[in-house]
Every structure is written in structure tokens, then in C-alpha cells.
Structure 1
Amino acid sequence: MTQQSESTTTTSSPAPNADPRAAASPLAPPFPPLAEPRPPGGRRVWPRTFHDRLTAPLSGLRAMARFAREGAIRPRPEGLADIPRLPFAPAPLPRVDARTVAVSWAGHASWVVRIGGLTVLTDPVWSRRIIGTPARVTPVGVAWSALPPVDAVVISHNHYDHLDAPTLRRLPRHTPVFVPAGLGGWFRRRRFTRVTELDWWEAAELGGVRFDFVPAHHWSKRTLTDTCRSLWGGWVLTAPDGQRVYFAGDTGYGHWFSRIGARYPGIDLALLPIGAYDPRWWLKDVHCDPEEAVRATLDLGARRMAPMHWGTFVLSAEPVLEPLIRVRAAWKQAALARENLWDLPVGGSRVLTC
């Protein structure tokens, strides 16, 4: 990871009091202690580009030519035939208190996370259609009208299936939003007033809940001229009592998972992507397949995993039900307890009490 400018790094020096659980972990790498949470909001100076954060080169002309010859971006007709069987079971959101963690899957990478008394939305996409792909094949699992007041939003990166302007327009402009470095201007132009941009391994705090931005194997682009102009990553949410939820956003498999698990031990639930992986030669660097998601769970040391990023939008060539079938098989192959795989239907919820 490349150092930011002095004006950026001097305000985010590591805390003198490390997380005691991290200090006690025998797996802890020689990292500095967790950074003190940055003050929310504020404008920062970022590099013009984050290309140096890429973990694999972006596709070049040779890869584009191969894709034009043999690539497929949609499943064959038999792979689409299972769309009516995609799990969809909307239900009322569970009641929770400040000591309870609950997650509800609205579809794709959109979760309603209740933690530490807060309601947090991840990559909220409530639109029926996003740019560049057919309409969603399962409805939104949580009606917007059924949401409690939203206390915060976290964004993993700026791709259209994770950053949806029509959905965000529904939110009050004073809603706190936590975003990757370089993406704050997008929100400020839309008159959001409480925008916090973070670099990898930085944190902020709201209502006693800690929001840590962590690395991912991905990239960013929203227009023809902004490739990698903003960062990408995942989020570790830690409640005041220590309960932890990791939201991976969009990512390929790699060594970051073990580093995240070592630095944030005791992850109670990992929300991990399992879809949009075929053709593998094209998507391996940026999207986990189901088996890699299970490996990531083990690398993280997470107690439970909830799959996401499948069964909502048809983004790639695998059959629509294949991610679920494969993740269940991989979980069983790894001899992991079945009750710790939270393979929710769209609209489903689970409550975690520790």
C-alpha cells in the first residue's frame, strides 16, 4: 500500500492503546495498533489515482480480444431456467436491541445491518434496474417503507451495482455515509453533509460503533475517465461490546483475508460475495467464486458466513442457482458446522446473540 501525502497520514497515526483482542491474538502480524478513529466528515487531499492499489492488472487489449471471441456475459438458456426457483422470502425485520446483531439481505450486496443500536445499510441498491445489466431477477427483499431510520450507510466502491444514485436520493442528506478515499466528492455534489472518506486500515466511529475500512482485490470505475480515481474495499463494523461483522463488498480471493482476520480477530459474521465469477479467466482477480468464499471465511477466522452478490442481478455466465449449490457443497467439504452458513433467501434475516 502506498503512503498518502503527509497532510493525509499525520492525522491518522496509530492509537497508543491497541485493541486488546488484537494484541492477544497469536496470529497478529507486525502491524501497528489499530488507528484511532478519525473525526467524521472533513475534506482530505487524495492522490489523483489509486492504480497502485491494484492487485492485478486491469484487462488489456489481448484479454478484450479473447473475451470477444469466447467470452459469455450471460448464462445459457438452461442456466436461466432456474430464475423462478431463486430463494425469495421477504419477512418483517427482526426486533433488536443495542446488544443484538441482526442482518437482513435486501439482495445483491445490500444488507440491513443492525449493530450496537444502529441501522446500517451496505451498498444500498433498491432500484429495479442498474446501468449495463438486465433488470433484477428477484425483487428487493426489504421494502424501503419497512426500514427503520437509517443511521449510516457504508459504500464499498463506485460500480453501479454497489453505488446507486436513485436509491441514495431517498435518504435524508444528513445521513452519515462512510466511503472509500476519493469518493466523497460524489456524495457532496449530491448535497450529503456528513461524508467520511477513509483509506485502507483507517476507522471512524458513530454511536459507539467502529467502522474500519479494509482492503479488497477489486477496482473502481463509473465513467469513461475515472478508472481507479477512488478506492475500493470492505468494512469491519465493531459494536461497543466487541461483536463484529465484516462486509467484503466486491473482491477477488487473496492474502488480504488472512490479514484482515489477524488484525480484527473474533469476526462473528462475514458477508461474502459468491457470484459473478464465470468466465473464471476473466473474473478471477476481482470476484470470488463459492469455494474461494469458504476459504476466505477460514482465512478470516470468522465464525459464520452469509453469502451475497448472487441471485439478484445476472452479471456473468454461471447458471443462476449454481453459486448457492457450490457454496453449500464447499461448506460441507470444509467440515464446517451447517448452522454457521447463513445462506439466506433474498428478504431473509438472521439474529446473532453472543
Structure 2
Amino acid sequence: MAWKNPWYDPHLEHHTPEGFKNPEPELRQKGDLKKWQKERKASGLPLPPEEGYPAFISRWCQPVDLTGSEDAVWWLGHAAIMLRLAGQYTLIDPALSPRVSPVSFYGPQRKTPAPLQIADLPSLSYVVISHSHYDHLDRPTIKQILRRFPQVEFIVPLGLAPWFKRMGARRVTQLDWWQTVQLDSITFQAVPARHWTMRTLWDRNRSLWCGWVIKQAKLNFWFSGDSGYSDSLLAIPERLGPFNLLALPVGAYAPKWFMQGQHMDPSQSVHLHQAAGCPLTIPVHWGVFELADESLDEPPWVLDQALRDAGLASAFFYPWKIGQRYLLKNLIQDLS
């Protein structure tokens, strides 16, 4: 018997009876994946960082500093973000394993060390997930979280709650695009993204993908998740802005003919940064896994060039080191 979407709403454009879809046209054609893999192998891509991996790690990685109790945000590498708000810790898309793959011996491997281990955390209240791909929903990391913090609340896109329940999670909230939940003093709202989901050969697009808007006191934070560019994303700052913190992807964009429907390039992220009013923006989705054709060290200089082309200063949109912390009390001061 064919699987039917139990959350299907015929009034929503991104719903289908079999799962979910992007409102935008699908850009990939049948056979494109094999074509890209063949071209990539023939060209020997991706190339290593220009100065080698050890030098890249030395330049771009640092241990996480958990001292103090002030509200803060950390970039943990790739798309992983950590927040400390009113003493409560939130992890977003924590992928801290040596590989992001259904198996431990094959698949994309970390090229830079994880700056944090779950055992390092003094507490953990919330885990937010953008979608089911292995570099965003990492089963070994989730298992570690559940062993150490069994009462943690997971906030996930529509369709992912059953996976977390099978993992033993006790508290799971799943949301559709534009839906909101308030937990303690923090509001979490799922927002659209242009992407897709798949963990096995049989579950393509059976769970939703999304970005998140997180609000608490003076913080208004848009984490875009994994997303290709679409003009429809401009509705997010129009409806939910002004934001004072963004996290936008700047990696896994090459080659554009293959990646553009699911990953932004730096120039597109700069356009969203500008449309959102140029708040402090963390470039994410780079620096850890070689998922596309660009080298690990390419996104920072491509981002710098995109900002120059747009006539923007880099003071509010610059590459962070993996593990870097920013104290949120500085947001108002720095943006004034």
C-alpha cells in the first residue's frame, strides 16, 4: 500500500498527498546527479584548501568558550548554532559526528574538528532541526543528547516527530511553515525554505524542511536552514522582521547548475542580508564538510567579493571562526 501524507492539507501549496514539495519549479533533471558526480570525479574536485587542511584548521577553528552566563550565540561549524538565552541552551542542527552519513565508515567526513561535545554542556533545554538530511539531523549526536538530557524539547518540521519518538525522545513539537510555539520565554516559528528531505531510499520529501525564527526578549533571529534562493523568502523579513540576527548559508553552491535549487551562493545570501536590513549575519553551511565542488576556503573570499559587488560593508556579515561566540548584549550597540 502506497504511503499517504497524514498531514496533507490540500489548501497549502507545499503539501502533496505523498509528502511535501517546493512551490518553486524543480530545477534538477533526471540524470543530473550522475552527471555531476562524473564531472566532479574527472576534475578531482573539491580541491583542498589553498594552504592545506592543518593551516585551514589553525585559522578558522577555536574551542567553544562557555564561561559566564550572559546571553550569547555560537557558531559550531557547518549549520550548527548554539544559543544561550536567559540561562537556557538551545542547539540548532547539531551535527558533531566524524561523518554525516547513514553509516559510520562511508560518507562525508569532517575536515575540521567539532568545537564542542555534548558532554561539555552544563544543560540543554531545546534542540531545533531544520530538516532530515544527515548534515543537519545527525543520529549519533541526537543519541548523545538524549542520553545526557532526556527531558530536552525537540522542535522540528512537520513529519519528523515520528523519527524522534522512535529514538526515544519524550518531548517533540513539530510545526508546519508559519506555525509557532512558545516555550518558556522563547518563541519558535517555522518559516519556508527551498529544499528537500531524504534519509532512506523510501522517504523522499515525506517530512518537511524549514527555516526558523527565534524570538526572546530583544532577540529576533532568523535561521534560514538549508535553502536555495527564492524571491518568496523575502516574505519572511516582510512578515516577521526587523531581525537583529541572521544565519544564512554561503557554502555547497558549486556547480551552480546542479546546486542552485537547494543551496544559495554567497551573492544570493548577501541579497537576503540586504533585504532584511543588514543585521548581524552569521555565514553558515561551510567550513566542515566537502559537500559540493568549492574548496573549504572558497566561501569566505566569495562572500567578501559579493559584499563588495553589492556596495556593502562587511562589518555585519563576515566569516566567523568555528566555535566563535558573540555576546547578544552587543547586538543593539553594534547595530546602532
Report 1:149-160 matches (<5 A): 149-160=123-134
Change (3 A) 1:6 1:162: closer
Which residue of 168, 190, 193 maps to 2:142? 168
Distance 1:117 1:217 in 2: 33
| Kept after mapping to 2: 8 A contact 1:211/1:235 | yes
Amino acid at match of 1:205: Q
State the shift of 1:8 in Å: 11
Q: Once the 2 structures are TM-superposed, how far is the Cα of residue 65 of structure 1 from its aligned partner?
A: 5.0
8 A contact 2:246–2:282 mirrored in 1:
yes
CA distance in 2, matches of 1:109, 1:53: 21
Range with bigger deviation, 195-204 or 79-88: 79-88
Q: Are the structure 2 counterparts of residues 76 and 190 from structure 1 closer, same or farther at C-alpha, using a change threshold of 3 Å?
A: closer
Higher mean C-alpha deviation, range 57-66 or range 291-300? 57-66
1:208 to 185, 194, 197: 185
Cα distance between partner residues in 1 of 2:78 and 2:25: 24
Q: Distance in 2 between matches of 1:251 and 1:79?
A: 25
Residue in structure 2 matching 1:274, options 242, 250, 257? 250
- Cα deviation code 1:193-243 (max 9, x no counterpart): 11001000001011111000000010000000000000001110000x241
Task: Give 5+ residue unaligned stretches, structure 2.
Answer: 1-6
Which residue among 219, 223, 227 is the counterpart of 2:196? 219
Amino acid at match of 1:103: V
RMSD (Å), alpha carbons: 2.5
Paired residue type of 2:99:
R
Q: Report the Cα distance in structure 1 between the residues aligned to 2:138 and 2:23, rounded to whole angstroms.
A: 23
2:76 is the counterpart of 1:103: no
Q: Which residue of 2 aligns with 1:254?
A: 230
Following TM superposition, by how much is the alpha carbon of 1:56 offset from its aligned partner in structure 2, in angstroms? 3.3
Residue 147 (str. 1) matches residue 121 (str. 2): yes
**1:232 is the counterpart of 2:209:** yes
Q: Which range moved further: 330-339 or 292-301?
A: 330-339
Partner-residue secondary structure (3-state), 1:53: coil
Three-state SS of the structure 1 residue aligned to 2:236 is: helix
Query: Is contact 1:105-1:141 (8 Å) kept?
Result: no
Classify 1:289/1:215 alpha carbon distance in 2 versus 1 (closer, same or farther; 3 Å).
same
Give the TM-score normalised by the residue count of structure 1: 0.81
What 5-or-longer segments of structure 1 have no aligned partner?
Answer: 10-45
Q: Within 1, Cα distance between the matches of 2:233 and 2:322? A: 25
> Structure 1 residues 276-285 or 134-143, which shifts more?
134-143
Q: Partner residue of 2:328?
A: 352
* CA–CA separation in structure 2 for the residues paired with 1:151 and 1:47: 33
1:92 to partner: Cα distance: 1.2
Task: Describe the SS at the equivalent of 2:130.
Answer: coil
Partners of 1:48 and 1:6 in 2: CA distance: 8
Distance 1:66 1:348 in 2: 38
Distance 2:10 2:30 in 1: 38
Counterpart of 1:286 (choices 244, 249, 262) is 262
Match of 2:328, as an amino acid? L
Partner residue, 1:120: 90
Query: Are 2:28 and 1:59 equivalent residues in the alignment?
Result: yes
Give SS of 1:238's match.
strand
Match of 1:70 in 2: 39
What percentage of aligned pairs have identical amino acids?
33
2-side partners of 1:79 and 1:139: how far apart?
Answer: 15
C-alpha displacement of 1:81? 5.0
